[in-house]
Each structure stands twice: as C-alpha cells, then as structure tokens.
Chain A
C-alpha cells in the first residue's frame, strides 16, 4: 500500500464521449437531427377524407376477422393450404441441398479464391432479388401455379442459407481444423471431420428457420400468382369476403406458431 489519503482521488467519474469529442459539434448535430425530423414530418401530405373511407373499410375487415368464416370456403382454403405446405417443404429441402455446397464454396477459409468469388456472387444475386420480384418473373416464365412458387422459394433459400452457412464456417475454431489437417486428411475428410461437426447444429437450426420463412413467403408470393394459400387469400379479399380472409389469416398465424414452437423444440436436441 501507499500513503496517499483516500480524499486525494476524484470521487466522481463520467463516461467520456466516444465518437464526437467536441461539445460544439455534438450540439450542432443533435439540433440538426431534430430540425430534419420536423421538416420531414411537415412535408407529408395527409388526405384525411381518404383516411376516413379507409378506416371504414378497415373496420369491416376487422369485423370479418372477429367473425372468421372457415366453413363456406373451406374447400379453397384447404386446397391452398396443402399447396402452400407442399411448396414450402419441397423448396426448403431442395434449397438446403443446393445451399450446402455453395455455402462451403463461399467460405474463405476452405476454398481457393475463384471458387469463393463465384459462390459469393451466386449468393449476392439470390439475396438481391426479393421473393415477390422473382415470383413475378417465374410466374411469367412458367405460368400461374405452385411450380413457380416452388422455384421462387428454392432460389431464395439458397441466398439465405448459403450465406449464413458460409459465415458460420468462416467462424469455426481453426484449431480443430488444423488438428485434422495435421493428420494428413484430404479436403473431403477435413469437411467431414472438422467442419461438419462444428456447423451441423447451426445448419439444422437455420434450415428449420428457413422452413418457417418459406411458409410465410408462400402466402405472399401466392398474391402474385405463384399458387398456395396466398392466392386463396387474394381471391377472398377481391370478393370482399373478409370473414373468409380472416379465417385464412388465422390459419396462417396458427401454422407459423406451430412451426416456431416445433423448430425451437428440435433445435434444443441437436446441440
């Protein structure tokens, strides 16, 4: 110990500003943000009459929601639902099967640079195009129906899963891979013994998550003609049958919740 009295040390401490250290600049920027928000808010034009009309329609929609009618359109609903579920499952399986090699190829620590660049380019294209845009394009190519939806969801799955898998592979513990390399293992053996055990739980978790997303997306792309429950929902709204539309939405919500719960349950087991 030393003999400096306790009172000699400061008793207060406040965290020094980390990004803008100059007090003047801090004030200028904060005032600027507030001013911009006020100006931007003032520039929005609101047509109040339109809002009133819309509220009325919204009310009818909400009423339909409160009295969902499952019975009168049940044939359409169940057909759309089965189509959507088929589309979801097949596209997830195919998407995962294609994503795995692309994901491995897009991991910088495993592949030569040109393979890496090609695989990252595929991922970038798939991620850049939103599902609805791909669906419109594929519906134009293959006609209305679930086949276009299946292709859309498979394509979108690749961008999602391959990217997250590649990022996960790049973050593996390098020591384990070094140890397997040091035994004289080939590249395939390295993948099988050092990479696969490390990324498998995450791959399973991501696939289940993507299954979930694909079901929700299947409802959206149905609206542009790619089949499934989305088409049924669109028809119901077009006919002003808000009670049937409410029933469809409730079914979608129920299925998403079941999928969510089930995937969480499965993920706990694969750690």
Chain B
C-alpha cells in the first residue's frame, strides 16, 4: 500500500508543482491520474521514486518513508518501484534482452552487469516476461529496431523484471496510435491484475482512463480536485479539472463557430500595415 501525506514540491525556480497532496493507493488498485499539462502529474509520479526530490511530506510504501531514505538506501527502495515511461526510455543501442535485464541492476553487483553475466534466475525471468508481452523472438534485436508498441512492451517487461511492489506509469500511450494504446493499456491492467500490483497511471486521454482505470484522481495546479470512480467523471468534474470546454463528443458540425467568424472579419490589409509601422 502506498500512502502519500501532504506532499509538496517547489522547484528551484519557485514554481510550486505540488501543494499538500495526500493520497492512498491500496493493494492491487489501478489508479489513473488525470489533469492538464503542468498540473503536476509527472512531478507526483517522479517524487515517489525520487527522480524528483520532494520538498516536504511523507511517501510511505509498506513501512518505509521514501522521502527520508538516504542515498544508498534509495537505491534499494527504487527496486520496489517499477516505472514505465512516455517515450519508452529504452536504451536504444542496447538489445531488447539487455533492456529487460537492466530491471535487475539494483539486485546484482557491478561486475555481473558489466560482463552481462546475470544470474540464471534473472535470465529465465527475463525470457518469461518477454514471452508474456509477446516479444520472445525479438530478444536479440536492438531496441531501436522495434516499433513504438513493441518498445513500450519492452518497457513494461523491464519494469516487471524488478519484481516491483508498485508500478508508476507516466503517459504510457502518448506516443502510440489509438489501437496500440488500447493494447498497451490492456496489457498493463491485465498484468497488474495477475500480480495484484498497485499502479499509478498518468494519462492524458480521458476516455482511455475511464475504460481501464479503477479509480481516477484529478490534479489541477498541484492540488487534488477530484477523487472517485471513472463513472463519476462528468461534464462538471472535467471542467473542475481541466477548465471550461465543450466536453460533448458528438458535436453538431453545421453549427456556426462564433469565435472564429468574428476573428477573421474586418480590414486585414490596413491592420497589417498598421502593425508594420
């Protein structure tokens, strides 16, 4: 179980990305984090594994306060938290297998990782995970030879190779087409279901979030403004999260668009010449 208590992050520039965020993610829950760009979704996720150092607050996973652990201990704690990235973040020039095995880096000494002599159990688990994500025959290819969907599957396998107790997923489908996005989301939710693995998923796409998440948290300007079931997301709640917009997906195309019409009328040449003077 992950508990976040009054987490605050202020960047060196003075921007407050998160202010007093408190959140609990129970065992096995897949939680979607939605909100406009700059709301602090990525910061929140990255504070949990301390890729971004939090300014204040507590982040407890099991009985360890991740915000307090020292440099050496942090390395051990990061093994418990798997992360999946928006741009896949595979090491492009390494093979698929090396990328999956890099999930074991926190468990093995340097000489083993340097010589690529990982323990037999790690190699077997890596093959098993590649089989699970459907890439068993791609193990020896270089990561940059794969398609976007395949790369994200490798990213998933790498995160699972850590045997994590929590999965952080940062915009997993932002670089993928709609069909692949759904396949990837399905794979992530299935795997989390199999392992009763809790996950926090940053997601831009509201319909996708409603389809796959068990719980939705809405973040706006660094504060939680919505926390509930996907079914509770409606026009009013979306407006609180994202601001005013027409949320109705079936719009009438023949209707006039008053804003555009006003903007282009007038006397353009005079206006441009005026500005040029």
Helix, strand, loop or mixed for chain A's interface? helix
Q: Is the CB of A10 within 8 A of B83?
A: no
Q: How far is the CB of B31 from chain A (nearest CB, A)?
A: 19
Q: How far is the CB of A8 from chain B (nearest CB, A)?
A: 5
Stretch binding the partner chain, chosen from A155-163, A191-199, A228-236: A191-199
Residues of A within 8 A of B105 (CB): 180, 183-186, 189, 193
Residues of A within 8 A of B267 (CB): 8
Q: Is the CB of A179 within 8 A of B83?
A: yes
Residue of A nearest to B113 (CB): A189
How many B residues face the partner with a CB closer than 8 A? 41
Q: Is the CB of A198 within 8 A of B106?
A: no
Interface residue B78 (Cβ < 8 Å from any Cβ of A)? yes
Q: Is the CB of B106 within 8 A of A179?
A: no
Interface residues of B (CB under 8 A from A): 49, 51, 75-79, 81-83, 85, 87, 89-94, 98, 102-107, 110, 113-114, 155, 158, 162, 168, 261, 264-269, 272-273
Interface residue A9 (Cβ < 8 Å from any Cβ of B)? yes
Q: Which A residues from 140 to 186 make CB contacts under 8 A with B? A: 173, 175-176, 178-186
Q: Which of B89, B162, B269, B273 has the most CB of A within 10 A?
A: B89
Which of these, B87, B113, B155, contacts A193 with CB under 8 Å?
A: B113
Q: Is the CB of A192 within 8 A of B114?
A: yes
- In the bound complex, what is the Cα–Cα distance between A184 and B102 (angstroms)? 10
Residues of A within 8 A of B114 (CB): 188, 192
Interface string of A1-19 (1 = CB under 8 A from B): 0101000111000000000
Which of these, A176, A182, A189, contacts B92 with CB under 8 Å?
A: A176
Residue of A nearest to B108 (CB): A189
Residues of B within 8 A of A82 (CB): none
Residues of A within 8 A of B78 (CB): 181-184
- Interchain Cβ contacts under 8 Å between A and B, 11 examples: A8-B267, A9-B269, A176-B89, A178-B89, A183-B78, A183-B102, A186-B110, A188-B114, A194-B91, A197-B92, A198-B92
- In the bound complex, what is the Cα–Cα distance between A8 and B105 (angstroms)? 66
Residue of A nearest to B106 (CB): A184
Q: Which A residues from 1 to 56 make CB contacts under 8 A with B? A: 2, 4, 8-10
- In the bound complex, what is the Cα–Cα distance between A200 and B273 (angstroms)? 54
Q: Is the CB of A193 within 8 A of B264?
A: no
Residues of B within 8 A of A185 (CB): 75, 102, 105-106, 113
Q: Is the CB of B89 within 8 A of A197?
A: no
How many A residues face the partner with a CB closer than 8 A? 26
Residue of B nearest to A188 (CB): B110
Residues of A within 8 A of B264 (CB): 2, 4
- In the bound complex, what is the Cα–Cα distance between A4 and B264 (angstroms)? 8
Q: Is the CB of B85 within 8 A of A10?
A: no
Q: Is the CB of A189 within 8 A of B110?
A: yes
- In the bound complex, what is the Cα–Cα distance between A220 and B269 (angstroms)? 65
Q: How far is the CB of B43 from chain A (nearest CB, A)?
A: 13
Residue of A nearest to B86 (CB): A175
Given contacts A181-B78, A182-B49, A183-B158, contact A198 B83 (CB under 8 A): no
Q: Is the CB of B92 within 8 A of A9?
A: no
Residues of B within 8 A of A192 (CB): 110, 113-114
Q: Is the CB of B85 within 8 A of A175?
A: yes
Q: Is the CB of A198 within 8 A of B91?
A: yes
- In the bound complex, what is the Cα–Cα distance between A151 and B207 (angstroms)? 66
A-B contact sample (7 more), CB < 8 A, given A4-B264, A180-B102, A193-B105: A2-B264, A179-B85, A179-B102, A180-B91, A183-B78, A183-B158, A185-B113
Residues of A within 8 A of B103 (CB): 183
- In the bound complex, what is the Cα–Cα distance between A10 and B267 (angstroms)? 11
Residue of B nearest to A270 (CB): B93
Q: Is the CB of B93 within 8 A of A200?
A: yes
Residue of B nearest to A182 (CB): B83
